[in-house]
Amino acid sequence: MTLPRTVGAQEIRGSAFLETRLFPWSPAFADQRDAAISPSVGLEPEFIWERDAGSIRFLVKPFLRWDAHDDDRTHADLREAGVLYLANDWTLFAGAGKVFWGKTEAHHLVDIINQTDSVEDIDTEDKLGQPMINLTLERDWGAVDLFFLPYFRERTHPGERARLRGAFPVLENAVYASGAGRWHPDFAVRWSYFTNSLDLAVSAFRGTSREPFLVPVTTQDGHALQAVYEIIDQVSIDTQWTAGATLWKLEALTRGGHGDRFLAAVAGVEHTLFGIGPGPADLGLLVELMLDGRDETAPFTPFDNDVFFGARWAFNDTADSAILGGPVIDYETGELFAFLEAERRFSDRWIVALETRWFTHTNATAPVHGLRRDDFVSLRLSRYF
């Protein structure tokens, strides 16, 4: 969990932000809003209470955003809200939490506990809070996490008139393979082990897929997509080996429930060049190969036969300036998705972040073709308190 260790009995912190997206091209579809500039504002406070010398912690972390042009992006969520009990060699969390699994940069293949908040961004890194009970056991041979996930949260999608919607809007009413619907109980277990050079984890999940299968349907308003959530089982491994200035990374899984069982993997390497230029900056060079064996009966993924070439520039200055970016290229179709993320801190409380997303040479038969004119630049100013 991401609950911090605080010294005092209580703490209030968080951030407020102003963000604007610039779309340089007109939309690909007539029913999308033709707004070149799309502003939004948001608030993400965090409330923490400690009891019994810190052995019991309560956390509430809501998220709120108002967007000028996408009613579905105007939303609120409890990213985290619950209680954590810490013992000597075990911890217990109950509530809504956030858990991240994975090692690679361009595609987080094995990350499955939390649902993706797609109205926030298309990079799948923003997540909704997941109701859970999480027991962690610490042992000399590693840590074991047991998860009970009693309630499922549907993936958010941009509104019918929003940019980054794709060719067709996604209907609000989803279909479930299980008769229990959102209340189907999901379970997961994860073993993780750390040494100075090795970071290794093996995980298993059984429950409702976080990836919806989008089925084309016809409504009285025209064509749309119906989200169908199936029951899956997944076994995965994610590991990172540190060899001096080089990191070797792997995420791999086998999954059943989306038609035939399939294998998928992301393998990569990151090598850092230290002390580049006249200052103390470091340059990390990244290459990641993505393979996915799913067929047309599984939810679409753009990361099936792709390679990512990236660079991470850390200035190592007092402002924590950093830049990360590069292209993801489908080496079978030539499709290219590129991104750039830059961040710099001003004083102790202000951070400005720049993000860009670009789609080129999209295959006309692929779902991402609906995003071909939705390249954008995002500028975000955050004030922390």
Q: What is the pLDDT of residues 128-150, one digit of tens each?
A: 999 999 999 999 999 999 999 99
Which structural domain range is residue 170 located in? 10-384
What pLDDT does 361 receive? 86
Percentage of the chain modeled with pLDDT above 90: 91
pLDDT tens for residues 197-209? Answer: 999 999 999 999 9
Residue 373 domain-assigned (yes or no): yes
Q: Which amino acid does the sequence have at 267?
A: A
Residue 179 domain-assigned (yes or no): yes
Alpha helices in the chain (DSSP H): none
pLDDT tens for residues 93-126? Answer: 999 999 999 999 999 999 999 999 999 999 999 9
Residue 94 domain-assigned (yes or no): yes
What pLDDT does 2 receive? 45
What is the rounded distance in angstroms from the CA atom of residue 278 to the CA atom of residue 276? 7
Residue 366 domain-assigned (yes or no): yes
Phi, psi of 110 (to 5 degrees): -90, -5
Predicted model pTM = 0.93
Residue 1 domain-assigned (yes or no): no
pLDDT tens for residues 249-260? Answer: 999 999 999 999
When pLDDT is cut at 50, 70 and 90, the band that residue 221 belongs to is: confident
Residue 103 domain-assigned (yes or no): yes
**222: number of Cβ within 10 Å:** 10
What pLDDT does 8 receive? 53
Residue 45 domain-assigned (yes or no): yes
**Nearest one of 164, 97, 99 to 337, comparing CA atoms:** 164
Residue 4 domain-assigned (yes or no): no
What is the rounded distance in angstroms from the CA atom of residue 100 to the CA atom of residue 169? 28
Parallel, antiparallel or unpaired: strands 259-276 and 246-257: antiparallel
**Residue 69 belongs to a domain with what CATH number?**
2.40.160.10
When pLDDT is cut at 50, 70 and 90, the band that residue 52 belongs to is: confident
Query: Which of helix, strand or coil describes residue 181?
Result: helix
The total domain count for the chain is 1
